[in-house]
Amino acid sequence: MEALIKQALLDHSQEIFEMDISEKMIQFQKTRKDVEGDLTLVVFPFGKVLKCSPVDAGEKIGAFLVEKIDALASYSVINGFLNFVISDQYWLGRLSDMDSQEKFGFQEANSKPTVMVEYSSPNTNKPLHLGHLRNIFLGYSVAEILKANGHKMVKTQIINDRGIHICKSMLAWERFSPVNDKGERETPENTGIKGDKLVGKYYVLFDKHFNTEANKIIQGWENADFSGYSEEISAEFERLNSSKAGKDEKAIAGLNEKIKDLAKNQTTILLDAKEMLILWEAKDPQVYLLWTTMNGWVYKGFEKTYDMMGVDFDTLYYESNTFLIGKDLVEDGLSSGVFFKKDDGSVWIDLTDDGLDEKLVLRSDGTAVYMTQDVGTAVDRFKDYPDLDGIIYTVGNEQDYHFRVLFLILQKLGYAWAKNCYHLSYGMVELRNSAGEVGKMKSREGTVVDADDLMDEVVGAARLMTQARGHIDGMSSEERDELFYKIGMGGLKYYLLKVDPRKGMAFNPEESIELNGNTGPFIQYAHARIKSLLAKGGELHNLRDVESISAEEKEILKHLNCFPEVIREAGEGHSPALLANYAFELVKLYNSFYQSVTVLKEEDATLRNMRLVLSSNVAKVIDLSLGLLGIKAPERM
């Protein structure tokens, strides 16, 4: 309707205004709830053109448009706002149109440029956790939304399978893994432990020994034992330690942390891990075999987790491959003057003229950093997909600076497509318990909320909740398990996606599967109830001979009519939250409608059919909305 009105104003601007008007002057907004109308045109800009008051301008424009556009039933002017009442027949026509489209609101597939969305991108030294869940569900949903907007889509991840953190797990397994009576060290096969969790166990164990050794070093320094340490180390310790005098508790804690970092860098276990990384980059056979073996365990574990999550990827990239491309690009950049080398042999880029600082791209020992592999990965992706228009990186907001630097480096290396790269920055997620307490998670300390455990928890809670309601009679055990999975995972995904991605959030597993309020199960239940209604309603017919609709029916149709625009806005804003909250509002409108009018017991067959068709399209849009969030819509609950 907005397009019709806009076109009418442009086509007849000479007749109405005696001049051509700019399209920018035509502005719409939602009609206030206390005003009769379905659409509001802002008429303040036209008062100046017509040289009259906004009310008079509204009267002239309103009378003209109601005469020209049959779908406009009436109008009213309040101050500078022209409110239109749209005819019932128009809304019934819209219902007929949306009913004819299986994927109402979706754009033609592959009609827009190719976009790649990166999400998950885990490290192979630990299992996935709660933070990964928000990342993965967000990235997957954004990819699906962009696909619905017509983009050709490539879903991907970069698996961080190399680096010092990987060597820490490898070293700890090599040193601390117990040997069984068969002479075997711990493996997923002989322990029954999921591969990613077994490797994560040794990452935590490394940190335990790491801290123990660092604490012993500090004890020695406090007793003036600096044997084996350089004068620079002893002088730095003395400086930090003496600085604590007269400081408050917070300042002392900060100085103690710096002393701890100083000691950690002198530990033999960290030095050994660094030596292992150098051997890995040199492809030492023994280190490389250990690396491939332990990463293989992790990949199998990840596959099970992704299957439980219901997400997929079109292509995978591995840091162990792309960091080599990055190193070559750094060498090229050195030759062209993009990068510079310091006296210790490390390679940097100076971004001070861009308002940033100097950034390390290659260590003095020749090993790569994260930035090295990210540059290599981006270039590799555009080579693999020549039609690629841009990349969306789904990464937490603690990496905002990293991506500003990455995109700048790529531009300075001469890659014009870098301007189409986008960091989908999202807030951190923390766990809130039933008492309302929020806890932070740390992988090194083993205090993260494991993704597998959390998914099992919400599915188990969905099982108990659904069994208590007693609406699963007649289902087989397989059907029940599938339903519990859909409800539990639907609740989890919805809870993490309904919040604007840019905001941090606290997650409460118990709240996620509640059947009331703004939750996934609340929306799923509405879909199941409509499906049950439709099953009882029999065959649906084409809309005909319906003369009018109720206020509740019109409100639903107005909301359904917005669905294509919500998909567009969610794509442009990279925000599944818009779709989540749209679906919630749709369900509330439908519940109000269902309580206000009769459907199956309606004696007028034409009216009964119309209400069933309306219900069918509500169910369809709920299903499509949830699908774009990666959530299944059960037909029975």
Query: pLDDT for 216-263, tens place per residue?
Result: 999 999 999 999 999 999 999 999 999 999 999 999 999 999 999 999
Report the C-alpha gap between 452 and 341 in whole angstroms.
Answer: 45
Report the C-alpha gap between 131 and 454 in whole angstroms.
Answer: 11
Query: pLDDT for 569-599, tens place per residue?
Result: 999 999 999 999 999 999 999 999 999 999 9
Q: Are residues 401 and 464 in the same domain?
A: no
H-helix or E-strand containing 138?
A: helix 130-148
Q: Are residues 479 and 549 in the same domain?
A: yes
CATH code for the domain in which residue 213 is found = 3.40.50.620
CATH code for the domain in which residue 504 is found = 1.10.730.10
Report the C-alpha gap between 598 and 132 in whole angstroms.
Answer: 45
Asked, for residue 131, whether it belongs to a domain, the answer is no
Q: Are residues 476 and 529 in the same domain?
A: yes
pLDDT at 503 over 90: yes
Query: pLDDT for 526-572, tens place per residue?
Result: 999 999 999 999 999 988 889 899 999 999 999 999 999 999 999 99
Record the pTM. 0.90
pLDDT band at 461 (very low <50, low <70, confident <90, very high): very high
Q: Are residues 509 and 603 in the same domain?
A: yes
- Of 459, 439, 498, the closest CA to residue 130 belongs to 439
Q: Are residues 179 and 283 in the same domain?
A: yes
Report the C-alpha gap between 27 and 43 in whole angstroms.
Answer: 8
Q: Are residues 538 and 405 in the same domain?
A: no
Q: Do residues 299 and 357 lie in contact, with contact meaning Cβ atoms separated by under 8 Å?
A: no
pLDDT band at 481 (very low <50, low <70, confident <90, very high): very high
Domain assignment of residue 309, given as a range: 158-229+266-320+373-429
pLDDT band at 470 (very low <50, low <70, confident <90, very high): low
Query: pLDDT for 387-439, tens place per residue?
Result: 999 999 999 999 999 999 999 999 999 999 999 999 999 999 887 765 555 44
- Of 225, 198, 403, 195, the closest CA to residue 300 belongs to 195
Mean predicted lDDT score pLDDT of the chain: 94
Domain boundary among 86, 112, 131: 86
Q: Residue 545: left (phi > 0), alpha (psi -120 to 50), or beta? A: left
Identify the pLDDT of residue 449.
Answer: 86
Alpha helices in 413-562 (DSSP H): 451-469, 477-497, 509-512, 520-537, 551-561
Q: Are residues 275 and 408 in the same domain?
A: yes
Query: pLDDT for 25-74, tens place per residue?
Result: 999 999 998 999 999 999 999 998 999 999 999 999 999 999 999 999 99
Asked, for residue 512, whether it belongs to a domain, the answer is yes
Mean per-residue pLDDT for 343-359? 96
pLDDT band at 442 (very low <50, low <70, confident <90, very high): very low
Q: Are residues 381 and 418 in the same domain?
A: yes
For CA atoms 120, 500, 635, 96, the dihedral sign is negative
606 contact partners, CB below 8 Å, separation of at least 6: 544, 545, 546
Exposure on the CB side of residue 164, measured as CA atoms within 13 A: 14
* Other C-beta atoms lying within 10 Å of the C-beta of residue 399: 15
Domain boundary among 25, 57, 86: 86
Asked, for residue 142, whether it belongs to a domain, the answer is no
Q: Which residue shows structure tokens 């827009």?
A: 112
Report the C-alpha gap between 480 and 463 in whole angstroms.
Answer: 8
Asked, for residue 114, whether it belongs to a domain, the answer is no
Identify the pLDDT of residue 437.
Answer: 52
pLDDT at 515 over 90: no
Q: Are residues 421 and 542 in the same domain?
A: no
Would you state the structure tokens that stand for residue 37, as one six-digit string? 């109308």
The more confidently predicted of residues 385 and 507 is 385
Asked, for residue 615, whether it belongs to a domain, the answer is yes
Domain boundary among 86, 104, 138: 86
Mean per-residue pLDDT for 454-460? 94
Asked, for residue 593, whether it belongs to a domain, the answer is yes
- Domain count within the chain: 3
Would you state the structure tokens that stand for residue 598, as one six-digit string? 């009769």
Query: pLDDT for 268-305, tens place per residue?
Result: 999 999 999 999 989 999 999 999 999 999 999 999 99
Cα distance between the two ends of the chain = 37
Q: Are residues 566 and 608 in the same domain?
A: yes
Q: Are residues 389 and 484 in the same domain?
A: no
Q: Are residues 597 and 636 in the same domain?
A: yes
Asked, for residue 559, whether it belongs to a domain, the answer is yes
Asked, for residue 586, whether it belongs to a domain, the answer is yes
Report the C-alpha gap between 451 and 471 in whole angstroms.
Answer: 29
- Of 9, 157, 139, 132, the closest CA to residue 69 belongs to 9
